[in-house]
Amino acid sequence: MANLRKIKKDITFLVSEVILDCYLFWDFHPDVKEQDVKDIVYEALNLRSSLYLRVNAAPKEGAKQHYRAISKDLHDGVENLFGRISTLSSGGEAVAEQAV
């Protein structure tokens, strides 16, 4: 069985990285809509909360599959959020290139 502390640390670390990237992106690209960045941050926080609830509500039987599903959802969710930041970034670079 997976170590619950390790799973929770992984969730916290990866979601924190997404949020940190959002704020760094926002600092370097103030021309991007503030609400777009905030939406990504809110979605990251909701992902963390929902995964924590699922970790804490583990079934007695089938726990291994339950934790695998949580791990997969964590990585898919974080990858999706980083993709959204990249999309904002590519749009921000296009705006900067047009200004030059």
**pLDDT, tens digit, for every residue of 14-23?**
999 999 999 9
Asked if residue 60 lies in contact with residue 27, where contact means CB atoms within 8 angstroms, the answer is no
The model's pLDDT over 29-77, given as tens digits with 9 standing for 90+, comes to 888 888 899 999 999 999 999 999 999 988 889 888 999 999 999 999 9
Q: Quick one: pLDDT band at residue 97, thresholds 50, 70, 90?
A: very low
The domain total for the chain is: 1
Domain region containing 52: 4-99
Comparing C-alpha atoms, which of 48, 8, 10, 32 is closest to residue 84?
Answer: 32
Position 11 pLDDT exceeds 80: yes
DSSP assignment of 24-87: HHHHH-TTS-HHHHHHHHHHHHHHHHHHHHHHHT--SSSHHHHHHHHHHHHHHHHHHHHHHHHH
Please say if the pLDDT value at position 83 is more than 70: yes
What is the structure's pLDDT at 63?
86
List of long-range contacts for 54-57, beta carbons under 8 Å, 24+ apart:
55/4, 55/7, 55/8, 55/11
pLDDT score, position 98: 39
